Amino acid sequence: MDFEAKNFPKRHGKRKPGEGALERRSKMDKLMGSMDILIAMAQVNPHVGALEGNLERLLAAARRARGLGAELCVFPELALTGYPPEDLLLKPLFLERLEEVERRFRQGLASIGIAAVYGSPRRAPGGLRNAAVLTEGGRELGWAGKHRLPNYGVFDEWRYFEPESRFEPLTWRGVKWGLTICEDIWHAGAPSSALAAAGARVLLNLNASPYHIGKHREREEMVARRAVETGLPVLYVNQVGGQDELVFDGGSFALNPPAVPGGEPEIAARMALFEEGVAVVRLRIEEGAPARFLPQPAPEREEAPREIYRALCLGLRDYVDKNGFSGVVLGLSGGVDSALTAAIAVDALGPERVHALMMPSAHTAQESLDDAADCARRMGIPLAQTPIGPMQERFHQVLEEAFPGLMAGVTEENVQPRIRATLLMALSNRRGWLLVTTGNKSEVSTGYATLYGDMAGGFSVLKDLLKEEVYRLCEARNAWAEVEGQEPPIPRRVIDKPPSAELRPGQQDTDSLPPYPVLDPILRLYVEEERSPEEIAALGFDRETVIRVARLVDGNEYKRRQACPGVRITRRAFGKDRRYPITNGFRAG
């Protein structure tokens, strides 16, 4: 969302020799008893640890902001280091290099001719601070430390930072600015109210706020509460991009407090989700009146399926690109999970960077072969076929020699996905492609996957998506294609047929698991909401089924601990969010 400087009203006045535009405007503002300041929200996508690259990215955004007429450019939390930098903050060499990069950043901003507020760590008495820094003309004018350090879910800031207890606005252009950082704005009282009491006219809130479904609405509601509480306008600037399992969705905005007592707060400007960009807002400062952002058109928020889909695409794309992979490879089985994973990969990276392998065994149906080929054709990706029958037979011979007289069972079934994983990893090693796994959250939760088999890989796109949500996203993706006059990427038959791992004759998922319409609601309650089996059964679910599911979840922590990272889209994903011991004698069921 960019707004050209020419779209803003021009000021008129006789120019004096040697007088610059900012000086002329400042004099006119004083005569009129008001002042307008053009502020840029720089919604950037930093790369954790890539200090030089982040320096160039931030300076490019600052140049764009200056070209749009902005005088002040506001960047996200820890924008120079990327977020979360984790134990890089414990490495003295990293902090030393950061200080040099930060010095060059301030010089670059001075050359561009723009002031800035940006996030960076600060060494201070008592320990490291997560800071918001104000700079102009190559000089640091001051900084404010983060007071509320989150230490829950995916956050671990008490490990690295000390909380700030000073709440003093910083003065720039004769205006007192209250600088807050991310979690600070989520709490009533200090620091927001303390800054307002100290004379701040505006709150600038720097963020690295990760995505989960509906998070942008929660942010706007929370910031609205702070605006009502303090009576101050708030500029909320969030980063965008993928970092390991986290996705940052941007969605920066400017919000005004109610214009009259009892009124509603106002979204004055809003940036798009999941996209880098620079947007300029005009802040009006008038004597005897509250500061306000002048309203401008703002994009509407998207429906949940498209929001989720874009989060998955961004998470995959940034994991591939920031880690230097040339593309991805996946096993395309003819099933719904691999079809959706392939569609997301194509939309995220382009078909030329997506490679698929079909590895049929004696139990693979001809329908699955045909469906995999149809998927690949629709998506425009190459599909190689490597039958695993001969390798599978040789494994069985060796196992029979090692364990004579034992009946075939799960051991022999699991040989198949482990052979497939070996072939896929060979392609990954040889070609430099990232192996993307295709399992979903229902399977990850219950352990319905083969360790060192279909769980093997570098990244999981569907790790936080329950099976029923996989179906809904397939339907949505096909519907978007039809609206655009394109062939749906996922064949109807792939969506309609009963899911099966095809590791033995006639196998279906319901042989081992409750039907997904029963399983998924139980998993949502047990995993994401931490409800007890008795509480879940009281909601109308069969008690024995609930206990069975709880035991599957609890008994498969050892598998999940060895699984690859995947995109987080819920409040409670497997990974940083949920840290249960592997050796654990407690059984909820």
Q: Report pLDDT digits (tens) over 535-587.
A: 999 999 999 999 999 999 999 999 999 999 999 999 999 988 888 888 888 88
Average pLDDT over residues 361-378: 93
Based on the domain organization, do 353 and 428 belong to the same domain?
yes
The predicted structure's pLDDT at residue 8: 32
The predicted structure's pLDDT at residue 499: 84
Percentage of the chain surpassing pLDDT 70? 94
Q: Which of 509, 526, 545 is the last residue of a domain?
A: 509
Structure tokens at 188: 């009533």
Whether the model clears a pTM of 0.85, i.e. scores above it, the answer is yes
- 404 vs 418: CA distance, rounded Å: 22
The predicted structure's pLDDT at residue 503: 74
DSSP state at residue 572? S
Based on the domain organization, do 346 and 271 belong to the same domain?
no
Is 90 exceeded by the pLDDT of residue 19?
A: no
Is 60 exceeded by the pLDDT of residue 205?
A: yes
Do 164 and 182 form a contact (C-beta atoms < 8 A)? Answer: no
In a domain, 116, yes or no: yes
Based on the domain organization, do 278 and 350 belong to the same domain?
no
Based on the domain organization, do 183 and 80 belong to the same domain?
yes
Q: Which of 184, 73, 197 is nearest to 131 (CA)?
A: 184
Structure tokens at 299: 């994009």
Average pLDDT over residues 40-51: 98
Q: How confident is the model at residue 300 (pLDDT cuts 50, 70, 90)?
A: confident
- 438 vs 331: CA distance, rounded Å: 8
Q: Which of 63, 64, 55 is nearest to 4 (CA)?
A: 64
In a domain, 558, yes or no: no
In a domain, 18, yes or no: no
Based on the domain organization, do 119 and 266 belong to the same domain?
yes
Is 80 exceeded by the pLDDT of residue 29?
A: no
Give the DSSP per-residue string, 418-456: HHHHHHHHHHHHHHTEEEEE---HHHHHHT-S-TTTTT-
Is 60 exceeded by the pLDDT of residue 326?
A: yes
- Reported as a single tens digit per residue, the pLDDT across 424-459 is 999 999 999 999 999 999 999 999 999 999 999 999
At 67, which CATH number? 3.60.110.10
Average pLDDT over residues 357-377: 93
The predicted structure's pLDDT at residue 124: 93
Q: Which of 294, 329, 349 is the last residue of a domain?
A: 294
Q: Which of 529, 553, 542 is nearest to 448 (CA)?
A: 553
- 212 vs 306: CA distance, rounded Å: 13
Structure tokens at 484: 């655009």
- 343 vs 491: CA distance, rounded Å: 11
Three-class SS state of 182: helix
The predicted structure's pLDDT at residue 261: 86
Residue found under tokens 């006219």? 201
**What amino acid positions are annotated as catalytic residues?**
77, 146, 182
At 470, which CATH number? 3.40.50.620
Helix, strand, coil proportions of the chain in percent (round to 5)?
Answer: 40, 20, 40
Q: Which of 455, 484, 509 is the last residue of a domain?
A: 509
In a domain, 456, yes or no: yes
- 145 vs 179: CA distance, rounded Å: 8
For residue 588, the one-letter residue type is A
Based on the domain organization, do 281 and 369 belong to the same domain?
no
Based on the domain organization, do 329 and 285 belong to the same domain?
no
The predicted structure's pLDDT at residue 12: 33
Helix axes 92-112, 51-67, angle to 10 degrees: 20
Based on the domain organization, do 111 and 254 belong to the same domain?
yes
* Dihedral angle, C-alpha 584, 441, 455, 586, nearest 10 °: 10
In a domain, 110, yes or no: yes
Average pLDDT over residues 282-302: 91
Do 445 and 552 form a contact (C-beta atoms < 8 A)? Answer: yes
Average pLDDT over residues 72-95: 97
- 319 vs 225: CA distance, rounded Å: 35
Based on the domain organization, do 256 and 315 belong to the same domain?
no
Based on the domain organization, do 235 and 365 belong to the same domain?
no
Please name the residues in contact with 408: beta carbons below 8 A apart, sequence gap of 6 or more.
Answer: 396
The predicted structure's pLDDT at residue 132: 98
530 compared with 413, residue with greater pLDDT: 530
Based on the domain organization, do 272 and 387 belong to the same domain?
no
Is 90 exceeded by the pLDDT of residue 18?
A: no
In a domain, 568, yes or no: no
Q: Over the chain, what is the mean pLDDT?
A: 91
Do 36 and 284 form a contact (C-beta atoms < 8 A)? Answer: yes
In a domain, 533, yes or no: no
Q: Provide the domain limits for residue 360.
A: 305-509
Structure tokens at 55: 């320096």
Count the alpha carbons within 13 Å of 526 in the hemisphere toward its beta carbon. Answer: 30
Average pLDDT over residues 496-523: 87
Average pLDDT over residues 298-315: 92
- 99 vs 324: CA distance, rounded Å: 26
Is 50 exceeded by the pLDDT of residue 28?
A: no
Q: How confident is the model at residue 500 (pLDDT cuts 50, 70, 90)?
A: confident
- Reported as a single tens digit per residue, the pLDDT across 161-204 is 999 999 999 999 999 999 999 999 999 999 999 999 999 999 99
Length of the chain: 589
Q: Which long-range contacts (CB under 8 A, 24 or more apart) does 90-97 make?
A: 90/160, 94/49, 95/121, 95/123, 97/51
In a domain, 16, yes or no: no
Average pLDDT over residues 472-499: 96
Based on the domain organization, do 62 and 88 belong to the same domain?
yes
Domain count of the chain? Answer: 2
